[in-house]
Every structure is written in C-alpha cells, then in structure tokens.
Chains A and B, each alone.
Chain A
C-alpha cells in the first residue's frame, strides 16, 4: 500500500465517527442526503397566475395568440386544474401550499366566525394577538422589558407547507408574493425564502385603504369600503391636508398617527406640487408619482424618544380643476424598513429593495377598490394596474437573476384583480357595461393573458433544463346576479325575526341557520354556537339535507338555476383543522355569486338582484364552474389534475416522498 493511500489513525477515527453519526441519525437523514444529491442542480419553476381561466386560455391558444402555452398543450403539458371548494383565492392557495384541502389548513373563506361569540367575525388567514406586560403612563401603555410578550400577528394557516420538506432536505426554495402566507412561516433549516403576498396588510392594518382628496369631498372625512375621502379647501391655491397613517398601539385608546401635508396648484399649467415629510412632489394632471417615503411619528411619553414607522405612498393627480382631485395609494410598508415581518428571512425584503428600490408590499396591489367606489374610471384603473405589472416584472427579473437551482415560485395577481374588473363572458351581456365598452376592456385582459405567455416563454428560454409549471388557482365567470343567502334564509323561516337586517342582530332562539363570508352557511348548532338551538346528529343532518334540496332548487326569474351545488363540509373535507368550517358551502352557477350584503352577514331587500358594481366578474361559484389551468413543459398525466397535486409534483421532481398528509398526487 502506497503511503498516500494509507489511512491514518486520525482519518480512520473521523470516518468512523461520521458513519456512526449517520447510522444514529437514522434513515431520514440518509434519505434526505440521497434526495439532496439527486436534487443537486435540479430546477423547478412554478409561476402562479391568479385567476387564469381555462376557457379564455383555450380560445386564445386556438386563435394562435398564446403560442408558448399552445405548444405545451400540443406536447401534452396542459390540463384544466381542479380548484378548491370554495374557489376563493386564500382557500385555493392554501390547498396548493399543503397539497391538501381546507380540512388540513383550516382556511374556508376570507372571513370566519367564532361560534363561542356566536358570530364574532375575524380574518381567516392571520390573527393579531394582543401582548401582555404593559405599564400605563398617562395616555400611553409601555411594554415592560422582560415581562410578558409584545403584540404580534400570527399565521392561522395550519398543516405543513410543502416547502418545509424541501427545507429539511436542504433543497432551496424561494417564493415571491405567495398568498395565504402572511406572516411568512419560519424556515427551520434556512433553505427557504419567502415574500408574503395576498393577505399582507398596509400600514393602516387594512388590506389596502386609499385616501382621496377633493374640493367636493366630505367634511368630516368619510370612510368607505377600502378608502377614505377628505375635503380639500384651497386658499391662494394652497390647501392643507392630513394623511392617515399607522395605528399608534402605544396609546391606551389606539388611534391612527397622522401626517400633515400641503398641496399647491397651478390651474393654468394643470399641475400640483405636494409638500410632504420634507419632500416635494410635482405632478401634471393624470400623472402618477414614484414611491414617496414617509416617516410617521408615533407619540410617546415625554421621557422617551419618539418612535417612527416608515411607509411609502404613490400620488395620482387626477384633476387640478375645476374640481381638484388627488388619489393617494394605500400606505405600503417600506420594504427597506418594514414595520412588520413580510419576508422570511426578515432581511430578504430589504435585499430586494436594495436592488429594485421601494415596491408594493400589500397583498392586494391593483386599485380595484378605487374603481368599485367610482374614484377611478376604467382607464385609470388600467393605468395603475400597468404600474403594478411593470413593478412585478422587475421583481421577476430580480428573481430569475438570483436563481440557480431548487424551487422558484413567482406569483402574478394582475389576471385576477383585473379579471374581476374587466372580465366578460362575451356570449352574454356584461352586468355593468355596454357591449362596446365590455369588448374594449376585455381585449385589454386578453392582451394581459398573451403577455403572460410571453413571460413564460422567456423563463423557459432562460432556464431550458428547468421544469416550468404555470398554474392558476381558479378561473372566471360573469357576476351578473347576486343572491342574498341571509334574505333567503329569513324568507324561508331559517333566520329570524322576520324583519332582521343582519345576522349580528338575529334572534338566535328561533334562528336555525345563517350565512357569513362568500360561500359559507352555518347551522346554529347546540353545543357549538353560543346560542345554538339545532341538536347535532339527526336533527342537524335533516336540516342540512333540507337546505341543500331547497337551495339547489332555487330558480331565477328566467328559470335559470342559481346554485349549482351545495356541499356538506363534513362529507367533503378531510383533516383536523375543521374548527371554523361552515356546515355547507354554497356553490353558485355561472353568472351568480353571493350578494355583497351576504358576505358580511347582512340581509338585503331582495333575494336576487342585479350586480351593478364595476366588480363585474368573479370565481366564488361552484368549484366545477371555475377550474384553473396548469401548463408544464413536460407531459402531464392524463388524469384530472387538481390544485392539491402541485405540491406532490414538486416534491417528486426533487426526488422526495409525498407525505401522507397530502391528498394530491404527482401529475408529471
């Protein structure tokens, strides 16, 4: 044996210790090591296109307008993708995350109710937990060091997200704008990065509150859904205004911090100058500003230095005269100094901003509320949405530049939020627009789909060896008619008294069922609800069957079926996270959806009415009506694919076993 091949005593001991350690760590470690070696250099890219509809996609592919997707379809890499029940984005993306249905992750709607308080409503995906250990000083409460815990926001989604398995196997994963993951879940092994998407609040703690200043605005300021309006009064062409900022939770009676600013205008030049936070912003009529950083000062007791919270806004000068109008975007968290954790690891937000500058951090980025509330017209909404897409494409470029191997996930919201406002089932009348207008704006949406095709083509070109999966969480349908579930329950004697206006004021001694959220129907169950009256077991079963039969039999004035299918969750869902599950999921037929009143538990005047909102399309129907899409640059198995199949597919691509908690199976 030559000298250099001989094993020294030190080397022998080192190898023995390593082998012993591997044996003691068990087969799990070995399996991970095997998976890691198999996955080394492997690239999987998942592009999440929210709301991409199969019918429209197929039409555009047939017309030759989406050549990349058409090519994948020809190669067997396209299927309609089964969505979640109900097909709401937070539910659907949680299905994608867990590879399993709502029974595993516990998200059944945008909002839930706590039966202990009968109908205490809360946001389903995240919860802010009040802190403890405070010292009251005048109007302030101060957190005592080392005692109690500070207030924090917790992720409510349950179960194990599929990236945890990648993380444990030392396979890198990075997610940009992932829905249903705020605050971002922790990475145990440091191989996972995530920027939270839908569900991330703005600095006011809402899901996007614009502020709107006009000379004919209300006095005092008026709050509307997703916005706040102010009156602006000019003196010598200058007006003083205030901008509402973050909540000062250090006060015993928390209130929003405010920032004063001035607006100067030149009517002849059609321009305005905004003086805010030591900065000047000069805008022409119809022009958007860049991101403007703002430091909100939170009042503290006199003996403490004042605290500051950083935010960013964009101004849009709508009109200089005759009536001055100024739109201010929701106050987003400044990613260079986020007030709350929006990324995992926390410094990820800042490292993106270092290269790209400030960017949208709220979950909902397109200004759909401004269009719904008639602050914007369609073209203004499209212009704002185009800014969002431009920013997203810069982020995608950053993501691709910084990607070597492992999993890369990137999310586009444009198709969903623009879909809600601009969609049109063109074989039908549009609920709120003339045919010409509907056609014009629907063409914009079609172009957006075609743009997605180009984006995916570019990704495949840049990463020819990667498995590229493009998928959507659901499709789209016209929202022409709204069904008021609570009004129907009231009229049919399930919800009382006969003049009840909201489930918040129902007579629970005589109420057997109520609706909350977009698709949820709850039975007032004894032992579960605070004032429950329906006995669980046979009585409840009978009631559920009765409700299903009656709801599915409802016909509109033209004889059209309103509700396609009502699903019993105890028979449909599997898993341990059923605490807040509704008893029934109401799945609407195409063209129908729950009324705006129903979502918040209110009873409208009519059971069925026209939807006159600019929000003219939706997907919160029956799951069979609005499937999503899945495209892959590898052939997809011919079985019906579903959202829960994507996570197992990704794990299999990296050579990992599909855990028993997942309901789906690999499709590639």
Chain B
C-alpha cells in the first residue's frame, strides 16, 4: 500500500520520503491539511526552495516538519511564529509558513500570534484547530467547546473557547479564513490566497481528532466528526445576521478578513533605506 502511494500519489514529490510514513493517527485531519498545503503549493507552482516551514510542538506541528520537503524549523512549544519572524526578516523574498496546532499557536503561543498579526509581518499561518491537546493525551484546550469532555475536564468543560480567527482579524492581520477538513477545495483556495497576500495571513482549519477528542464526545469515527463539521458550519455571510446564541457551537467558515495594510519587512527595509539616505551612507 505504502509503496503504491509513493509511486502514484502526485503530491509525494513535496514530501520527505525518508521521514514517511507519518506519525499521525489513523483518521487524523492532519493528512488532509498536509495534502491541501501541498496542493496549494503545486497549483501556485511555488518552488519548495522558496519556502521555509516553521512549526512548534504537538501533532499538528509535525504535519509539515519534518514531512514537507523544504527548509523546515521545528521549534519550541508555542514559539513557532517568533522563530518565523526572524526567518522572514532574514529572507524577505521567501514564503515563510507556520503550520501548527491550536494548543501551540493560540494557547502558549497566543501572544506571538497576536503581535505578528499586529505587526502584519508577511508570514502565512496554517493553524490546525482540533479542540484538544492531542499529543499529550487529550487534555482540555482553550479551543475546547463549552461542555465538551476531555481528560482534564472529565465532567464537562466550563470554559469558553477562544475564537481564533476573529481575534487574529481584530489584531490586524491582512488575511484570515476559516475552513474545516470537510471543505478541502475551499481550504486549498484559501491557503493559495494566504500565500499570495503580502502581510500576515491566517488559515484556521477545524480538524478532527477522533482518537483524543471524538471518542470522548460521542464521535468515535472520523466520518462522524466530519459530518459534525458539515452540519454545524455556517458561512461568514450568513453568520453576520445571527445572534451569539444562535452561533453557539457553530463553525463560521469562509474569509473573515481580506485587506491591504503596510507589511512589516517592507516597512523595515524602507526605514533602513531612509536612515541610510538621511545619514549619507548610500554608496556614491
């Protein structure tokens, strides 16, 4: 089977073969995200040599590093975006992509996420939101739905989930979109857009974790989780006219924001030019 995939699956050219098979659990949405990202890169005809992929810690952090064949930086928990900031300043002409999970990017790394959006640095973040700490055994996350059961909220979760996309949009990102793993084609289109936007872009992917989330919340099978996503997804346009009560437990999907704002590395290099000009330091 594996051999067949290696010889017939067209996107395999983007993967680090010596790292395969992946460590992802059967039924995990991570494969869908990797597939969507590879397809986006392929459709845009991007050279992987022009990509640097950064990730933090957790299942979703493994999606692209080590599996995606590019320069990959697998960093400490929560800090992927801060590492990526240094990479982007050093290589402003490359596409710098962060792929990691909700626990990594929005919980411990929440501060870096907000400030990168505020700075509007040209980094594309693909945030895989599976509502749970998968790798550490299924503990409650800041994204876990109200009332859901996890190993550390065994009776029910009494905290409210963070609305990641809306928060990042409010912080100043250029582009924000949210899809689920049941919306693969839309997801690919959004990743393509995010990669082309000059500024901070976030694509939040609601993804299934049948092993740690699903089985504790009456959705043992991956397909059940995908059906849950489809049944509860509400397009942005429709969500506008809905009350917070009506939106409780729903997934708002689509483009949350798409706008042009001055980008950080461009401004930084512009500033350096101005300073060098001002002090007469340009080569005559």
Is this pair of chains taken from one and the same complex?
A: no
